[in-house]
Structure 1
Amino acid sequence: MPLIPEEPQIHESVPGPRAVPAAGRPAMTPRPVPGPRPAPARSGDPGPRSGPVPGPRPPRPAAGAPAATAQVQLIPAPAEGALGAADEAVDLLLDAGRAPGEVLVLTTGDPHPWAAHELSFGEASYWAQHDAGDDVFYAAADAERAASRPVVVVAVNGGSDAEVARALPAAMARAGALLIVCGDPKRVNALLSAGV
């Protein structure tokens, strides 16, 4: 039968999966072809989110070595937006590879909604989650029982200047590698330079 010019001629040598195997041969399963891999993100590259992107984790000090001072990062936010900024910072940290158990979120004003919800089940259950250390934990900045973690995020969402001035050095002492403070830059800088 002659070919019509509109019909393309298909040769048997054209590679690709076959719908029906040839007689005497098993059907071949198509295999994925490796393609280009995305380039790794470099510091300074703009990402899809706004805000600071946490840097790489510093190496852990050897046993007996003096602990280094945590890096301090300020995220400008009004008091009423500090919780939202803290939540976004936590998301960025987790997206950057931080384990949830490495992050502690402290509030200087009203408690974080997660903390308020968990406390409704009782103090014992709430602190058991803290002690397990396998998830982000939310507490009041003056909660003495909150243990140190590699990253501490402070939401300056209220509280007097005296309360915030006490909370910031305490948060710095709890932060192993990184302290992120979300709040009004003028207020935070004045209190940081005064006491931290």
Structure 2
Amino acid sequence: MSPHRRREDLIRTALEVFARRSPDQVTPEDIAEAADVSRALVYRYFANIGELRTAALRSAVDELSPRLVPPPGLPATEQLRSSLRAFIAFADGYAPAVLALLRGGSRVAGERTDSVLDEVRVQVLRILVARSGGGAPSPRTLLAMRCWIATVEAALLIWLEERPMPAEELADWLIDQLMAMLRASETADPGTRPTAPAG
């Protein structure tokens, strides 16, 4: 196996392990055992477990980003709903790792992971702005969109731990929250154009 393929195989193995256990509970020995390689081989490609966690997160985000792109031909609200459902399904598939990241207090969280997570937040914000109509949203509306992204993360944290409703109901509820927040922004800024996605 080439060095590149071996590195990718270790990252893929790490993601499989992180889907079952919180990354801050996983050691290089765990990855080596799951990949059926020596511990020394893991360290040949990654200086420490933190570097492997970051590489795995980078790989996961690269997997997530195309899933968030809404399918064309649907009303704007349905496009957002599709992206949100994809995000929830992704978080569900990597639940232990996502929980560790969203809690923020674990060894998984750090400057490098925050930077990668911010890429996802920026992508989601761009999707929201693009589907809110022409032109730039008002500062109040933009704030509402950013607050909604934080709401999604907080709701996901609770949902992954407690499962109070099916995933599709969670997506529908969060879309309702977005519409309410945007309407509240429009009411407070009566001179601005409508920003709630149509459909």
Q: TM-score, normalised by structure 2?
A: 0.29
More strand by share: 1
Q: Which protein has the larger Cα radius of gyration, Structure 1 or Structure 2?
A: 1
More helix by share: 2
